[in-house]
Structure 1
Amino acid sequence: MNVDRLQVLAYRVAAQQLDRPDLPPAGLAVLDLGVQDTPYGSARLAVAARTIAEPDDAALTLVWSTRGAPHLHRTADLPALASALWPVSDADATARIVTSQIRVGARLGLTAFRAAAKAMHEVVTGPMTKGEVSTAVSALVPESVTYWCRGCNAQHISGALFQQVGLAAGVRLAPKGSATTLVPVGGRRNVPNQSIAPDSIISAYLRLLGPATPAEAAKFMGTTPTEIKRMWPKDLAEVRVDGRRAWLPTDRIDLLLDATRRPRLLRLLPPSDPYLQARDRTLLVPDKSRHAEIWRMLGNPGAVLLDGEIAGVWRAKMAGKNTLDVTVTAFEPLPQEPLEKEASRVAALRGAQNVRVLDAKG
């Protein structure tokens, strides 16, 4: 079964419902995987790129989940998600948390995860600042998973471990300005004893960002291809994408084959939007010289999606109290009316009454 790059992009636009169907946010397919909220507020923009409905705060919850990054998830999904994201082995746990700060401590694998998750579950019984929780948890975990922080003049738990156990500990995020408060999830359960249905996360990745390979799924999960194969779903079909082997859930094959028409739409995708989470970046953007403009180490811009292609990047900044400036760096000519319409949606979500669309090149 052979498909080309444009067919894959058309499939992903449809799979991620970027045609903006009339659905409540919790009904969006991207919530199967979660919507990353980096920087804070970007998840709301990602949802707005897919539906005109207002988010239901009770139906959606912000937690640290995949790779320890903040993600918006369906509240009802949290118990199953905590078990699905629990590492499948010591090697998997080590791969997810190893850093230069805790190379030795990371070898504790599941022991490190369990100790940190139980400590956070015990500590967070009400609203607490992230710093308060970190201090309390650091005192309860093995010293080898902590490091000396010169800036704070204190011994801290590794951030990679601290944030990856948040969901398992039953803790949600309540950001306010530049501060983050941690709050117990309502009706939270005990720390998972084992990984249950980890293949559900891989299946969601493949449905939304496939066809894809084990190596690409491993990068998304923050582990190794060897460990991903331990959670690799069974109901998959092999597909050749411009001659390269990849996999897609069997029940999505017809949708892929039907995705022969180039989608006609323009969307302003925020940084960390689900469409940008694919690890086959060369397929998404063949011009590698553009990659550094889209995916930066820090401070990613948003991306302009035009008919399935990344056609530019954008940034927004308030200009006074009521006006939002949206500055666009276009990689190719952009239709002005749809661009201004989408910029107006972003402005409304940011609480601005007016919007100006500016060309970064002047």
Structure 2
Amino acid sequence: MNGKVTVTHAQVLAWRLRRQGLAPRTDASVPEVVERLAGVQAQVASSAQLAVASRQVSPSPDAVSQALDARSIVKTWAMRGTLHWLTPAHMGAYLSLLGAARTWEKPAWQKAFGVSAAQMAAMGEAVDEVLDDRVLTRQELTDALLSRAGFAGLAGQLSSGWGAVLKPLAWTGRLCQGPTRGQKVTFAAPRSWVPGWRGIPEPDEAAAVVIPAYLRAHGPATPEAFDAWLLRGATRKATLRGWFASLGERLVPVEVDGAGGAYVLAEDADELARTEPSREVRLLPGFDQYVLGPGTSDARLIAPARRKAVSRAAGWISPVVVHAGRVVGVWDFTDEGVAVTLFEEDAEVPRAGLEAEVAHLARCTGREDRRLVVRRG
């Protein structure tokens, strides 16, 4: 890693807006947007659909469901243990880095969820057999496992909506989500469900895919910011440093407003340095990657006093108003239209920009006659 780029945080935010297809918007397909964002959190399907559509110049209401049906995107537990859409080509790499932490082998995890490391290993082998060329609902999968010796006492863990016991099975390439049956989730084996599945690569190989993908969308960033996005800081520090060091001259250090420690891909350094600050207004849905990438604790993106307005109880991330790259308010759909609450301390946000965003939300959702209501709070 040699050379250094010196930029302002305003440039960083503008660069991320461009790289994520937010300013300007993109004509990319759903899989291209998902890949460009290094995955899309899909815990709340409506928010995930809007995250993709809000980046497209001409969004299609059926595009996401068509991509899922075509398996050009796949839903599985990924970053931070939450459900994500990933593209088949890179899905294994993301899962590899998540599995590298081996969280289910730690005594604290086993105590919290009541499953031993030996049971998890046996469960992985059983799932390989149970899902061999089959697609099962959660109940069908649970029943199949409970009928086997050694799993009789795990009914509660297997049926839990949080999927804590199923996540390690996803990270080791044993299962992913299949097509829904009505309102029921199904599970399939990636080897039979994911097009071109090549298994789970070694973590060092995977890091050369995932770290650049993250930096293209959310850089410049520190290794610690990457790890917080990946697994809430659960990666061993020496392992994390080794992954970044292995990228060598592919990375360039960046100084942002005088602070060091961050990196960007060498191929992106000149573009970042030339980027002019943005004055664009955007209304982004809840759980948007623009916020999740750097995290809500990034004080240069969200003022610390306003973090609770964005990161709420039970892990809920609010829809946000972005102006000049920073979060300056929150918003929501109401029966009458779109209600925007701008933070009192922020400079005036152009109403024309907010109205244009409300019009784009209407195109994304099919909602018509969307009235804008603006207040300060």
- Asked if 1:61 is matched to 2:66, the reply is no
TM-score between the two structures when normalised by the length of structure 2: 0.76
Percent identity over paired residues = 25
Q: Name 2:95's counterpart in structure 1.
A: 85
Q: CA deviation at 1:38?
A: 3.0
TM-aligned CA deviation for residue 137 of structure 1: 4.4
The whole-number CA distance in structure 2 between the counterparts of 1:95 and 1:136 is 22
Q: 1:142 to 1:169 in 2, by over 3 A?
A: same
Give 1:330's aligned residue.
Answer: 342
Tell whether the 8 Å contact from 1:284 to 1:310 is kept in structure 2 after alignment. no
Query: In 1, Cα distance between the equivalents of 2:282 and 2:98?
Result: 37
Correspondence for 2:47: 42
State the distance in 2 between where 1:263 and 1:43 align: 24
State the AA in 2 paired with 1:210.
G
1:138–1:155 contact (8 Å) kept in structure 2 = no
Contact 1:86–1:194 (8 Å) recurs in 2: yes
Q: Specify the SS of the correspondent of 2:206.
A: coil
The size of the alignment, in residue pairs, is 346
Aligned residue for 2:83? 70
Q: 1:94 to 1:290 in 2, by over 3 A?
A: same
Distance 1:295 1:264 in 2: 24
Task: Name which of 137, 140, 152 aligns with 1:129.
Answer: 137
The 5 A counterparts of 1:3-152 are 3-18=7-22, 19-28=24-33, 30-31=35-36, 33-51=38-56, 52-54=58-60, 55=63, 56-57=66-67, 58=70, 59-75=72-88, 77=89, 80-87=90-97, 92-94=101-103, 102=111, 108=117, 115-124=122-131, 125-137=133-145, 149=156
**Offset of 1:330 from its aligned partner?**
0.9
Per-residue Cα deviation, 1:210-257 (whole angstroms, up to 9, x for no partner): 111111111111122333234323321111222232111111111110
Work out the CA distance in 1 between the residues paired with 2:10 and 2:363.
32
Indicate yes or no: 2:269 matched with 1:269.
no
CA contact (8 A) 1:118 1:191 kept: no
Give the structure with the larger helix fraction: 2
For 2:322, the equivalent position in structure 1 comes to: 305
Preserved CA contact (<8 Å) 2:253 2:260: no
Whose relative contact order is higher, 1 or 2, with alpha carbons under 8 Å and at least 6 apart?
A: 2
1:269-324 C-alpha deviation (Å, 9 max, x unpaired): 1122111123363344352011111122433211111221212111224x3xxxx6
Distance 1:101 1:357, change over 3 A: farther
Question: Which of 347, 352, 360 lines up with 2:367 in the alignment?
Answer: 352
Q: Distance in 1 between matches of 2:149 and 2:104?
A: 19
Q: Which has the higher strand share?
A: 1
With normalisation by structure 1, the TM-score equals 0.79
Residues 325 and 356, structure 1, Cα contact 8 Å, conserved in 2: yes
2:185 equivalent to 1:180: yes
1:3-36 CA distance string (max 9 Å, x none): 2211211121122121103333333375461111
Per-residue deviation at 1:164?
4.4
Q: Do the aligned partners of residues 49 and 189 (structure 1) sit closer, same or farther apart at CA in structure 2, a change above 3 Å counting?
A: closer
Native 8 Å contact 1:31 1:73 kept in 2: no
Alpha carbons of 1:155 and 1:9: their partners in 2 closer, same or farther (altered >3 Å)? closer
What's 1:162 paired with? 166
Which residue, 229, 239, 244 being the options, matches 2:254?
A: 239
Structure 2 SS opposite 1:353: coil
Closer, same or farther in 2 for the Cα pair 1:47/1:104, shift >3 Å?
closer
Once residues 141 and 208 of structure 1 are traced to their aligned partners in structure 2, the CA distance between those partners, rounded to angstroms, is: 46
Could you tell me which runs of 5 or more consecutive residues in structure 1 were left unpaired when the two chains were aligned. Answer: none
Q: Report Cα offsets for 1:165-218 as digits up to 9, x if no partner.
A: 336225235457864333552557585374442331112112211111111111
Distance 1:272 1:138 in 2: 35
Gap regions ≥5 residues in structure 2: none
1:62–1:84 distance in 2 versus 1, CA, 3 Å: closer
- Amino acid in structure 1 at the alignment position of 2:312: R
Distance 1:211 1:73 in 2: 22
2:320 alignment partner AA: A
Q: CA RMSD in A?
A: 3.6
